A and B are shown apart, each in its own frame.
Chain A
């Protein structure tokens, strides 16, 4: 294992983040605060509670998950796309570093950044509403698994993208709608029955449901199912990355 290489890439990525730390943190914190003001205070005041939890508190796990998904995707996709764009990827490709090590370094850094951000949002949310965490270990488990899974997906997007438009395409057209329709702001039990069934095909439902269960002990789907599905998504993402490296897809000519 080339530990020095993993450390070099990881530190490089964290340093890059640190250079723009203000904008990296301020923007998600601001948008989360806006969600609280709009959904929590303005609209939430007209909704008494969802499954025994006040609406403002109910949306906290969903909001954290929404930021976690978006940040993991954008951090990881940009981290590998930019060296490709600038040409500096030659160095990674000629280094004595295996595919597994490359992924550990890039995905590790991307996941670290989004987890730090998720925790900052959690603290911010606590300023607006009292948040309780019933199962902290599960909370951390879902946080880490989701951050890693979506960083893996982001890594795939970064390799696939050959322009900045494509880099934005999947997060905008696929992930954001899935996140909004995945029970971020509501329990899917609030949907008509047909839509509840359709919702079960949305991977984000499992992530949000499991994460919310770790806070309040209430879930749309069984927590074990959530966990299994999260692991399945991770396995799929790993499978795609393995294929990319095996074939040299868009990395080596």
Chain B
């Protein structure tokens, strides 16, 4: 995390934010959230949890029903010029002006955000995102991954202080992911705050300093990544047996193994982050019991399952 975070005003400060859509759907419920300057913050939640709505209220796409949002200490409604000039948004959908060229569309965004023309800056962004060779290509001719790069380039064109990435790696190949994370790390090094939404735990794990979990329009928790990952590190081991087992032997039961109905599958829950998972001991115990293994698989609890767990812990 950046050293500035303890001394400067928060990048984003949200208090008692509510959003109810015209149809009556409650998308955000009493959100209180503070995002520190210079950090990478991951907003984690299943589809429909309210991630995009929350970003929309901060960026100006969605009108809050009640509550207050401050960006860099300025109100997003009354002082929108200052707050929006600070923000760059990479939307989830690949929306581009089909007949524009790459360079023209990036330069357009810079002007739109109130910055004078700066060809050198645009060139640097396009090169960082491996778009320079495509600068004169029309957007309609680009692949999905390339369009995603263009959207990132547009969001960075006006040198924002805060960058929002809404589901940045949806449908993105490995190379772009790597380029994107490099760009994000470079940005963080220059003091830019990055907020990304995702429903992949791995993504939050790879990049974020802190993680906020949102579900059904509520922020369930906000925690340092390392702490959260410890909580989310549970995995299930599944062992398929060649022959049916009438009952679970005591030695295996004591290790925490469970026999599923039908007698063909043993399950075991363990902490993948801990030094001793207990798997090696189980394997030798199985062998001592003379049980022959047909197949082994591990499964990380789905985010939904984890959310349910988190909700249960909270109540």
Contact = CB atoms under 8 A, between A and B. Distances in A.
Contacts of B309: none
Interface string B93-118: 10111111000100011111111100
A86 B94 CA distance: 10
B111 A5 contact: yes
Interface string A1-17: 01011011101100110
B181 interface: no
Contacts of B81: 2, 96, 98
B111 A96 contact: no
B115 A253 contact: no
Contacts of A8: 108, 110-112
Interface string A25-36: 000000000000
Contact of A97 (B83, B87, B104, B112): B112
A9 B82 CA distance: 20
A46 interface: no
Interface string A46-89: 00000000000000000000000000000000000000001110
A91 B112 contact: yes
A4 to B, nearest CB: 5
B95 A88 contact: yes
B70 interface: no
Interface residues of B, number: 35
B95 A96 contact: no
B269 interface: no
Nearest to A2: B114
Contacts of A21: none
A253 B21 contact: yes
Contacts of B91: 87, 90
Interface stretch (B54-62, B221-229, B257-265): B54-62
B253 to A, nearest CB: 54
A9 B100 CA distance: 13
B200 interface: no
A5 B114 contact: yes
B61 A93 contact: yes
B89 interface: yes
A2 B84 CA distance: 12
A45 B306 CA distance: 85
Given A5-B111, A86-B97, A252-B63, A96 B116 contact: no
Contacts of A87: 91, 93, 95
A169 interface: no
**Among the interface residues A2, A9, A98, which one has the most CB atoms of the partner chain B within 10 A?**
A2
A4 B114 contact: yes
B85 interface: yes
Contacts of A86: 95-98
Given A88-B95, A94-B84, A252 B114 contact: no
B161 interface: no
A247 B29 CA distance: 22
B84 A96 contact: yes
A213 to B, nearest CB: 41
A244 B255 CA distance: 66
Contacts of A11: 111
Contacts of B87: 94
A93 B89 CA distance: 11
Given A4-B115, A5-B114, A95 B84 contact: yes
Nearest to B79: A96
A246 to B, nearest CB: 11
B89 A90 contact: yes
A37 interface: no
A208 B218 CA distance: 59
B132 interface: no
8 contacts: A4-B111, A86-B95, A86-B97, A86-B98, A94-B87, A96-B114, A98-B81, A253-B61
Q: Which 3 A-B pairs have the closest CB atoms?
A: A8-B111, A87-B95, A96-B84
Interface of B: 21-22, 56, 59-63, 80-85, 87, 89, 91, 93, 95-100, 104, 108-116, 154
Given A96-B81, A97-B112, A253-B61, 7 more contacts: A4-B111, A4-B112, A8-B112, A15-B104, A87-B91, A90-B91, A252-B60
